[in-house]
């Protein structure tokens, strides 16, 4: 292996580590922004129901990467506070489909608005060149986030 290839690999490794740390810290800060009285798992499930539409519990559990019993507890709480409804699946009466309510949609809008406001405040503290650099990097960050989802 040549010195140039090794240097590129080290640079790639350092970039990957720096990106992981920066994205992880930012994600952690965003998760700490007001969640409207919900846990991060509950917000995640709520967002998945919005994205997937009326969804079966098993499919929602798979999308969330949790076990059925864990998701059942999450959905039961969301249902109790009126953010989702559970109804029998028309195609298979043994299964239930989870649907977002109007209150659930409103809660997600409020949470996202709070998170956007947090980011707007942080972006406002950056100089114009830094904001421009970040804007230029967004397509690359989107591509990294979307990789493997196709």
22 and 84, same domain (yes or no): no
> Is residue 126 within 8 Å of residue 134, measured between CB atoms?
yes
| 65 lies in the same domain as 111 | yes
Rounded Cα distance, 64 and 58, in Å: 10
Length, in residues, of the chain? 150
Residue 5 has pLDDT above 70, yes or no: no
Write down the pLDDT at residue 9: 55
Q: Note whether 16 and 55 are same-domain residues.
A: no
pLDDT value for 1: 42
Dmax over CA atoms of the chain, in Å, equals: 64
Domain that holds residue 10: 1-32
Q: Give the C-alpha separation, 37 to 150, whole Å.
A: 33
Average the pLDDT over 96-123 and give the result: 94
Please tell me whether residues 5 and 41 are part of one structural domain.
no
CA distance 27 to 18: 14
Tell me if residue 57 falls in helix, strand or coil: helix
The reported pLDDT for the residue numbered 147 is 72
Regarding whether 16 and 65 lie in a shared domain, the answer is no
The domain total for the chain is: 2
Residue 106: pLDDT over 90: yes
CA atoms within 13 A on the CB side of 49: 29
Q: Do residues 28 and 51 share a domain?
A: no
- Nearest 5°: CA angle at 149, between 106 and 13? 110
Instruction: Indicate which CATH number applies to the domain containing 93.
Output: 1.10.10.10
User: In this structure, which long-range contacts are made by residues 45-53, counting pairs with CB atoms below 8 Å and at least 24 apart in sequence?
Assistant: 45/71, 45/74, 45/75, 45/78, 46/78, 46/83, 46/84, 46/100, 46/104, 46/107, 46/108, 47/108, 49/84, 49/98, 49/99, 49/100, 49/104, 50/100, 50/104, 50/105, 50/108, 53/99
The pair of structure tokens assigned to 49 is: 């129901």
- 7, 48: one domain: no
pTM above 0.85, yes or no: no
pLDDT tens string 63-74: 999 999 999 999
pLDDT of 132 strictly over 70: yes
pLDDT at position 30, please?
87
Interval 15-30: pLDDT, tens: 999 999 999 999 888 8
């Amino acid at each position: 292996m040549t010195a140039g290839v090794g240097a590129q690999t080290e640079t790639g490794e350092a970039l990957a580590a720096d990106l992981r740390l920066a994205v992880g810290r930012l994600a952690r800060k965003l998760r700490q922004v007001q969640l409207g009285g919900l846990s991060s798992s509950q917000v995640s499930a709520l967002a998945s129901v919005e994205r997937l539409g009326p969804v079966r519990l098993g499919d929602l559990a798979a999308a969330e990467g949790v076990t059925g019993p864990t998701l059942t507890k999450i959905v039961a709480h969301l249902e109790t506070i009126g953010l989702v409804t559970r109804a029998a699946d028309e195609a298979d009466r043994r299964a239930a489909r989870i649907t977002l309510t109007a209150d659930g949609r409103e809660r997600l809008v409020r949470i996202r608005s709070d998170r956007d406001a947090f980011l707007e405040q942080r972006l406002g503290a950056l100089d114009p060149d830094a904001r421009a650099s970040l804007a230029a990097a967004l397509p690359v960050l989107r591509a990294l986030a979307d990789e493997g989802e196709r």
